[in-house]
């Protein structure tokens, strides 16, 4: 089991009147090589779930084992290492560093990994080729369209060849054509490299392309296609009706 | 992450955010330059004051002594006594003034009634040209002194020789000229051995004093500072053997003496000794008073110290203002920086890497700003020194290093604080900042 979370809670302002349970006892197992879409309405807790899965945030309660390691016990430094080597992130808002150009942004996680400059150059250019952005290597984020920025962000996420890619609404800020292209890149990665993909979306037509769909609502998992039920078809229908 | 990588990242960040970097540097530059200039100004003020006192003669006593019935040779007694207490006293001289004296060489006359230098030119060729254009030249001060006049009044001989004991004994008609008198009378000619006319009598110029002031001889009524005018006046003198009071000053007795003590400690001792000795010698037949300049000098130093504290206070405030400026820039950009830190953490930066990068970045900005600030401060100090004191004023090493250290420390603290705070956040919290 690659990812195994049990009874995860994320509670804000606990004990106060304004208490919010963003995650309310979530348990989820994801195997190596899966392509999972987590869907839900906004505010359902899907982003919080991804942040915790990606070690960007810590749960209030619960157990998290990543590839056999108990993540809740790790130090800041060890968590940084996991984020650096095990997981590639793709955010809705791209989150590129505006002062750095495409090449430098993609290079950043490799620098933190301590990879030598020559090897970095190969990895960076390879990643940029895969998202067809090699010709824009010297461009800064402000000089690129949203789709181009997201492709650079994907290049950054895949440059270090992490076994897991987590994408939080990667197409949310893109038009449907660019969005489809981004999705294709993820699928290619999954098929060719066997990368585990965890995709968060509120768009059912995108979710329908995943092999497994998990639906979350009010901080709880309400449906998981792995556990039977034809969520796949249901979502596809909803997606079809929506578009 | 290696240190070289952190250096590269910091340099990249500085050059990519030129506006932010420049504004932060400006804060450092202004603070640092202001401190250096203000403190140096205060030190310059002190320096000018000290220079003035030095030129006037440090550790000197003014002795007023006279015998009502002439039964005591005050000069002789004082001179001999000062030889006896030479552990304390370096020299003693009559400090007489001769009034109504004029001195001329060729067509140039200086002194009583002839105070327009170059104005009265009785030339052989009958051509009268107002060489000075009616420039008012302060008439020189004519002193009556002895062989120790220069020692007591802090003059150094530039050329020729001083008045000697023989000159005094034999009433030799000789004189020593101050620098500006020599300049006015002789111009480029070497005055040593030349004969000048003093009150119609021939005198030989035997010596020339080195200038004390800065060579500005015109009396500037529109207000250069008084020290400077006083110092240029010190070069506008002629010294005769004191015994010539007979022919130059209607044989008036000299009641004023200047005593030069070995050091400031000796000054007090000498003052007490001389006063009690002369009181003993003169008894009821005369009067003696000893006037210690050191006391006034110390009072002046005290006042200067106050001014220095005041300016130092202003400087400290400007440093704080500079620091607040740095802090403002840092805080304004903290949101942007927090996001950046969030991104860096999300893709695997350790807290240590982030702190290192921001530390180097702040150090670079403050270092560069600090160096520019020092340059501006030095330039400003040179200009201020030239304008206010007419001297080459250079900031002290202490204040330079101190101000640099403080401004860099301010920059580091304010530059590092937001980064240190943000790096402690969970990546998702830092990313959420906007």
- Model ipTM value: 0.92
End-to-end, the C-alpha distance of chain A in Å comes to: 36
How much is the pTM? 0.67
- Chain B residues within an 8 Å CB radius of A91: 346, 431
Which of B185-189, B296-300, B376-380 is modeled with the greatest confidence? B376-380
Sequence ranges of the domains in chain A: 32-58+76-242
Share of chain B above pLDDT 90, in %: 15
Query: What percent of chain B lies above the pLDDT cut of 70?
Result: 87
Q: Find out whether A28 and A2 touch, Cβ atoms under 8 Å.
A: no
The pairing of beta strand A61-66 with beta strand B60-67: unpaired
Specify the fold of A32-58+76-242.
Answer: Rossmann fold (3.40.50)
Rounded CA separation A159/A182 (Å):
16
User: In this structure, what DSSP letter does residue B150 have?
Assistant: H
The rounded distance, in Å, linking the Cα atoms of B218 and B135 is 8
Lowest model confidence (mean pLDDT) among A51-55, A165-169, A219-223, B187-191:
B187-191
Supply A82's token pair: 């996991």
- Residue pairs spanning A and B at CB distance below 8 A: 73
Q: Nearest CA to CA, how far is B340 from chain A (Å)? A: 6
Q: Residues B236-250: what's their mean pLDDT?
A: 88
Do residues B321 and B31 make contact, with C-beta atoms less than 8 angstroms apart? yes
Distance CA B338, CA A95 (A): 12
pLDDT greater than 70 at residue B222: no
**Tokens coding B142:** 């004519």
Tokens of residue B238, six digits: 């002629």
CB contact under 8 A, A112 and B350: yes
Instruction: For an interface test with A, give the residue of B16, B348, B430 to mutate (most A CBs within 10 A).
Output: B348
The predicted pLDDT at position B137 comes to 66
Q: Is the pLDDT of residue B133 over 50?
A: no
Residue ranges of alpha helices (H) inside chain A are: 46-53, 76-85, 102-113, 117-130, 146-159, 176-193, 204-207, 231-242
**What was the pLDDT predicted at B1?**
60
Q: Are strands A196-201 and A164-168 parallel, antiparallel or unpaired?
A: parallel
Contact A76 B350 (CB under 8 A): yes
How far is it, in rounded angstroms, from Cα B211 to Cα B237?
Answer: 11
Rounded to 10°, the helix B334-346/B397-423 angle is 60
Query: Are the Cβ atoms of B350 and A77 closer than 8 angstroms?
Result: yes
Instruction: Using DSSP bridges, classify how beta strands B96-98 and A196-201 pair: parallel, antiparallel or unpaired.
Output: unpaired
CA–CA separation, A21 and B347 (whole Å): 27
* Both structure tokens of B363: 């150090």
CB atoms B350 and A51 under 8 Å: no
Q: Is the pLDDT of residue B184 over 50?
A: yes
Phi-psi region of A195 (alpha: psi -120 to 50; beta: other; left: phi over 0): beta
Q: Could you tell me if residue B251 is left (phi over 0), alpha (psi between -120 and 50 degrees) or otherwise beta?
A: left
DSSP secondary structure string, B251-311? TPPP-EEEEEESSHHHHHHHHHHHHHHHHHHHGGGEEEEEEEHHHHHHHHHHHHHHHHHHH
pLDDT band at B119 (very low <50, low <70, confident <90, very high): very low
Alpha-carbon span B141 to B236, nearest angstrom? 6
What is the band of B70 on the pLDDT scale with cuts at 50, 70, 90? confident
Residue of A80, A91, A99 with shortest CB distance to B16: A99
Rounded Cα gap, residues B228 and B389, in angstroms: 8
Report how far residue B61's alpha carbon sits from residue B70's, in angstroms, rounded to the nearest whole number. Answer: 23
CB environment A18-35: b (16+ within 10 A), e (fewer): eeebbbbebebebeeebb
pLDDT digits (tens, 9 = 90+) for B393-419: 888 888 888 888 887 787 788 778 877
Of the candidates B149, B139, B103, B104, which has an alpha carbon nearest to the alpha carbon of residue B242? B149
Q: What is the dihedral of CA B58, B62, B63, B68, to 10 degrees?
A: 160
End-to-end CA distance of chain B: 28
> CB atoms < 10 A from the CB of B347, how many?
28
Q: Among A172, A46, A162, A156, which residue's Cα sits nearest to residue A100? A: A156
pLDDT over threshold 90, residue B281: no
Exposed / middle / buried, residue B278 (Cβ in 10 Å: 0-12, 13-18, 19+): buried
Which residues of A fall within a CB distance of 8 Å from B426? 56-58
A62 neighbors A232 (Cβ within 8 angstroms): no
| Tokens of residue B420, six digits | 């240190």
Pairing type for strands A20-30 and B174-177 reads: unpaired
Least confident of A36-45, B45-54, B144-153: B45-54
Q: CA torsion sign, A220 to A222 to A226 to A231?
A: negative
Write the DSSP assignment of B390-428 as a string of letters.
SS-----HHHHHHHHHHHHHHHHHHHHHHHHHHHTS-HH
Rounded Cα gap, residues A105 and A124, in angstroms = 9
Q: What is the pLDDT of residue B389?
A: 76
At residue B134, the pLDDT reads: 44
Write out the H or E segment, with its range, that includes residue B325.
helix B293-332
Q: Which candidate, A220, A189, A228, places its Cα nearest to that of A38? A: A220
Distances (CA, A) of A172 to A155, A168, A203, A242, A243: 18, 9, 8, 15, 15
Residues B102, B185: contact at Cβ < 8 Å? no
| Lowest-confidence pick of A51-60, B61-70, B132-141, B356-365 | B132-141
Q: CB–CB of B429 and A57 under 8 A?
A: yes
Question: What whole-number distance in Å separates Cα of residue B88 and Cα of residue B82?
Answer: 8
A70-124 residue pLDDT tens: 998 899 999 999 999 999 999 988 999 988 999 999 999 999 998 999 999 999 9
Q: Which residues pair with B195 in a beta bridge?
A: B204
Q: How far is A99 from chain B (nearest CA, A)?
A: 5
Residue A97 and residue B344: Cβ atoms within 8 Å? yes
**Is the CB of residue B208 less than 8 Å from the CB of residue B157?**
yes
Between chains, do B346 and A89 touch, taking CB under 8 Å as contact?
yes
Q: Which residues of B touch A (CB under 8 A)?
A: 1-2, 5, 9, 12-13, 16-17, 339-340, 342-353, 426-429, 431
Q: What is the mean pLDDT of residues A19-37?
A: 94
Q: How confident is the model at residue B127 (pLDDT cuts 50, 70, 90)?
A: very low
pLDDT over 50 at B131, yes or no? no
Distance from CA of A144 to the nearest CA of B (A): 17
pLDDT at position B228 is 57
């Amino acid at each position: 089991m690659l990812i195994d979370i049990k009874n995860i809670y994320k509670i804000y302002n606990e004990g106060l009147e304004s208490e919010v349970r963003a995650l309310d006892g979530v348990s989820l197992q994801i195997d190596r090589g899966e392509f999972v879409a987590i869907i839900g309405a906004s505010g359902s807790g899907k982003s919080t779930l991804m942040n915790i899965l990606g070690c960007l945030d810590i749960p209030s309660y619960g157990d998290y084992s990543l590839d056999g390691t108990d993540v809740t016990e790790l130090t800041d430094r060890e968590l940084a290492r996991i984020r650096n080597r095990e997981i590639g992130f793709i955010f809705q808002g791209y989150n590129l560093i505006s002062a750095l150009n495409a090449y430098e942004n993609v290079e950043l996680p490799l620098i933190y990994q301590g990879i030598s400059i020559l090897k970095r150059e190969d990895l960076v250019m390879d990643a940029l080729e895969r998202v067809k952005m090699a010709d824009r290597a010297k461009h800064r984020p402000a000089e690129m369209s949203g789709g181009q920025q997201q492709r650079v962000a994907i290049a950054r996420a895949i440059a270090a060849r992490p076994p897991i890619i987590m994408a939080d609404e990667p197409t949310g800020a893109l038009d449907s054509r660019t969005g489809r292209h981004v999705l294709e890149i993820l699928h290619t990665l999954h098929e060719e490299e066997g990368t585990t993909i965890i995709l968060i979306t509120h768009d059912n037509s995108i979710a329908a392309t995943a092999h497994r769909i998990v639906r979350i609502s009010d901080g709880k998992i309400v449906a998981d296609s792995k556990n039977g039920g034809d969520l796949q078809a249901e979502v596809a229908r909803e997606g079809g009706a929506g578009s | 992450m290696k240190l070289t990588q952190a250096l590269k990242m910091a340099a990249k960040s500085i050059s990519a955010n030129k506006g932010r970097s420049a504004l932060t540097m400006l804060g450092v530059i202004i603070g640092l330059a202001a401190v250096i200039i203000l403190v140096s100004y205060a030190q310059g003020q002190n320096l000018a004051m000290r220079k003035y006192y030095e030129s006037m003669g440090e550790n000197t006593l003014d002795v007023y002594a006279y015998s009502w019935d002439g039964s005591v040779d005050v000069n002789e007694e004082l001179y001999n006594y000062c030889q006896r207490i030479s552990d304390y006293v370096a020299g003693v001289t009559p400090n007489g003034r001769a009034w109504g004296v004029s001195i001329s060489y060729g067509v140039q006359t200086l002194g009583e009634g002839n105070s327009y230098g170059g104005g009265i030119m009785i030339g052989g060729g009958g051509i009268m040209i107002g060489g000075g254009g009616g420039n008012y030249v302060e008439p020189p001060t004519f002193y009556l002194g002895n062989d120790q006049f220069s020692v007591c009044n802090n003059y150094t001989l530039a050329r020729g020789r001083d008045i000697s004991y023989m000159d005094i004994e034999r009433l030799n008609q000789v004189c020593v000229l101050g620098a500006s008198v020599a300049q006015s009378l002789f111009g480029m000619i070497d005055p040593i051995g030349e004969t000048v006319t003093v009150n119609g009598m021939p005198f030989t110029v035997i010596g020339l004093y080195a200038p004390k002031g800065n060579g500005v001889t015109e009396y500037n009524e529109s207000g250069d500072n008084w020290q400077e005018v006083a110092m240029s006046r010190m070069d506008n003198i002629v010294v005769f053997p004191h015994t010539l009071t007979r022919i130059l000053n209607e044989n008036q007795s000299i009641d004023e003496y200047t005593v030069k003590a070995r050091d400031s400690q000796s000054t007090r001792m000498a003052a007490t000794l001389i006063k009690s000795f002369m009181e003993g010698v003169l008894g009821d037949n005369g009067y003696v008073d000893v006037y210690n300049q050191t006391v006034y000098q110390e009072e002046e130093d005290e006042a200067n110290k106050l001014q220095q504290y005041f300016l130092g206070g202003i400087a400290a405030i400007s440093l704080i203002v500079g620091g607040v400026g740095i802090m403002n820039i840092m805080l304004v950009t903290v949101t942007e920086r927090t996001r950046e830190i969030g991104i860096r953490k999300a893709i695997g930066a350790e807290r240590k890497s982030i702190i290192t990068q921001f530390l180097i970045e702040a150090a670079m900005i403050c270092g560069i700003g600090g160096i520019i600030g020092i340059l501006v401060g030095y330039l400003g100090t040179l200009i201020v020194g030239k304008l206010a004191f007419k001297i080459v004023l250079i900031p002290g090493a202490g204040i330079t290093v101190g101000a640099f250290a403080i401004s860099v420390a301010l920059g580091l603290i304010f530059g590092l604080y937001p980064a240190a705070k943000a790096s402690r956040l969970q990546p998702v919290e830092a990313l959420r900042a906007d």
